[in-house]
């Protein structure tokens, strides 16, 4: 299986036996949702996974998903409050003694609202239209009937909010997560590249280096600056839950396709998340629509598919992984049946063209595999972006980079020794000593061959190697 599975851990999956079954099915990335816990809460689970990692002798990636600035209404005078279609309600300012008053603390976020704007409450369940917004009152007209309760989420679709993607809680969680040894960060409610830069600065200050930052796309403002965000982020998550509240639902499939296309063009890994197999929280098999949704995400070229409630609190966490793996394997067969040729590079830097040439060469020679020596993960990432039929072995002496490569489609991260110093010799030595390759197997190697007196070089060579 080339597509990577991300499993969210929770009460249904935090025991060693379930974790072992996940690993046996090929899961190598585990998501820890810091909306429902702290570093202290997750510490015992992290220790279990690190012990399993030592036994497995393969890199396992722990993804810290930060809470972000979730916006909520305040405490209602009467909770739950019954909402009647076409009735009027105050939001944050107005007649506070009225039962139709919906408390909202941060008044600065209301300043941008104009008549006819839409407000969604109860995680998008109910829509309201702004009728009046003055210094003393903000009046909404309900477009739906239903019930809301205190503390429910509220969104302002299409509006850029004066909010940092990193709250004080996130900063604390991020620092404590780094101390716990987590391997990658998913940053919620990103609105622009400056949010990613801020997270990287915190990591650099704490560790003296960066860990991979995955930008979760959940706001229209992020879509408006999509290329800038993809450029700076180490990966992208199509977080369809909150994104579906910000954007019209009929547009969501095409937004997903656009994001995936851009990530492939720019050689960045992309994750599709939210409700992939949601019915399996309570049922032992997925619906036909869910099966099709997962397959289409893979056919569109997502690197990873992510399960949330399905594996965190669902009744059938292992069965979810089993079905996801089976769907992925079937979809991948069809990728190669449908595709007529490997896509051409979309931009002009030399490393991208070398990666493309290596994939073409491996295809024409019917090579056993592609092998990439990489210090940063870039070579393996670029090879992956062309979706070759051959598996890619990402050889790296750095465990942090090896864990980042778990996000790349078709890449098998492999930690190798730093000796010999010559990168090409390292790869050849690995091939000769590996039982994965038989005598006379044809392999295509890419590496960065440094000049004399230089430690590193960008990818600059391709070699056909016969064991």
Q: In terms of Cα–Cα distance, which of 148, 170, 127, 189 is closest to 35?
A: 170
Mean pLDDT throughout 133-155?
A: 91
Which run of H or of E encompasses 443? strand 442-447
**What average pLDDT score do residues 117-146 get?**
90
Query: Residue 164: CB partners within 8 Å, gap ≥ 6?
Result: 69, 195, 198
- Residues 216, 237 contacting (CB under 8 angstroms): yes
Cβ neighbours of 451 (radius 10 Å): 7
Query: Does residue 314 come out as left (phi exceeding 0), alpha (psi in the -120 to 50 range) or beta?
Result: beta
- How far separated are the first and last CA of the chain, in Å rounded? 25
Q: Measuring CA to CA, which residue among 152, 2, 11 is closest to residue 83?
A: 152
Q: What is the CATH number of domain 4-69+164-336?
A: 3.20.20.60
pLDDT one-digit tens code per residue, 373-387: 998 999 999 999 999
Give CA separation, 463 vs 12, 78, 416, 459, in Å: 47, 71, 19, 12
The structure's pTM equals: 0.91
CATH topology of domain 350-466: Pyruvate Kinase; Chain: A, domain 1 (3.40.1380)
The DSSP element (H or E) to which 326 belongs, if any, is helix 317-338
Torsion of CA 93, 96, 101, 103, to 10 degrees: 60
Model confidence at 449: pLDDT above 80: no
* Domain residue limits, the chain: 4-69+164-336, 81-155, 350-466
| Model pLDDT for residues 58-107, shown as the tens digit of each residue | 999 999 999 998 888 998 988 889 999 999 999 999 888 898 999 998 88
Q: Which residues contact 437 (CB under 8 A, 6 or more apart)?
A: 368, 369, 431, 443, 467
pLDDT (0 to 100) of residue 124:
67
In this prediction, residue 123 carries a pLDDT of 66
Mean pLDDT of the chain: 93
**Alpha-carbon distance 12 to 344, whole Å?**
44
Which range (110-114, 155-159, 362-366, 454-458) has the least confidence?
454-458
Cα 140 from Cα 102, distance rounded (Å): 10
**pLDDT at position 343 over 70:** yes
Specify the fold of 81-155. M1 Pyruvate Kinase; Domain 3 (2.40.33)
């Amino acid at each position: 299986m080339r597509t990577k599975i991300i499993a969210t851990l929770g009460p249904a999956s935090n025991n060693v036996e379930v974790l072992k079954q996940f690993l046996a099915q090929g899961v190598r990335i585990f998501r820890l949702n810091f909306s429902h816990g702290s570093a202290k809460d997750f510490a015992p689970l992290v220790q279990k996974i690190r012990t399993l990692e030592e036994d497995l002798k393969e890199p396992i990636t722990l993804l810290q998903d930060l809470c972000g600035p979730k916006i909520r209404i305040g405490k209602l005078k009467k909770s739950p409050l019954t909402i009647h279609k076409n009735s009027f309600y105050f939001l944050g300012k107005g007649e506070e003694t009225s039962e139709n008053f919906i408390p909202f603390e941060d008044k600065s976020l209301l300043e941008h609202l104009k008549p006819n704007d839409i407000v969604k409450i109860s995680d998008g369940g109910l829509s309201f239209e702004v009728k009046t917004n003055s210094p003393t009152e903000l009046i909404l007209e309900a477009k739906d009937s239903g019930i809301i309760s205190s503390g429910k989420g509220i969104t302002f679709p299409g509006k850029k909010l004066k909010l940092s993607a990193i709250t004080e809680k996130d900063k604390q969680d991020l620092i404590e997560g780094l101390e716990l040894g987590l391997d990658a960060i998913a940053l919620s409610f990103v609105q622009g590249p400056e949010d990613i830069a801020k997270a990287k600065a915190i990591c650099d200050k704490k560790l003296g280096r960066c860990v991979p930052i995955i930008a979760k796309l959940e706001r229209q403002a992020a879509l408006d600056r999509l290329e800038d965000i993809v450029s700076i982020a180490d990966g992208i998550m199509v977080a369809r839950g909150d994104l579906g509240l910000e954007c019209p639902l009929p547009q969501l499939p095409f937004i997903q396709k656009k994001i995936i296309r851009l990530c492939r063009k720019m050689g960045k890994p992309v994750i599709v998340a939210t409700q992939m197999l949601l019915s399996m929280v309570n049922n032992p098999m997925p619906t036909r629509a869910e099966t099709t949704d997962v397959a289409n995400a893979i056919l569109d070229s997502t690197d990873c598919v992510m399960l949330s409630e399905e594996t965190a609190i669902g009744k059938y966490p292992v069965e979810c992984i089993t079905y996801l793996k089976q769907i992925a394997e079937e979809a991948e067969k069809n990728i190669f049946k449908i595709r007529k040729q490997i896509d051409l590079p979309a931009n002009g830097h030399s490393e991208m063209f070398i990666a493309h040439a290596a994939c073409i060469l491996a295809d024409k020679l019917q090579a056993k595999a592609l092998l990439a020596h990489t210090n940063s993960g870039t070579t393996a990432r670029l090879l992956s972006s062309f979706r070759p039929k051959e598996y890619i072995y990402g050889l790296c002496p750095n465990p942090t980079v090896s864990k980042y490569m778990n996000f790349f489609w078709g890449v098998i991260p492999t930690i190798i020794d730093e000796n010999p110093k010559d990168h090409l010799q390292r790869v050849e030595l690995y091939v000769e000593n590996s039982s994965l390759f038989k005598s006379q197997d044809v392999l295509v190697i890419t590496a960065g061959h440094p000049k004399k007196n230089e430690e590193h070089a960008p990818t600059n060579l391709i070699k056909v190697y016969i064991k």
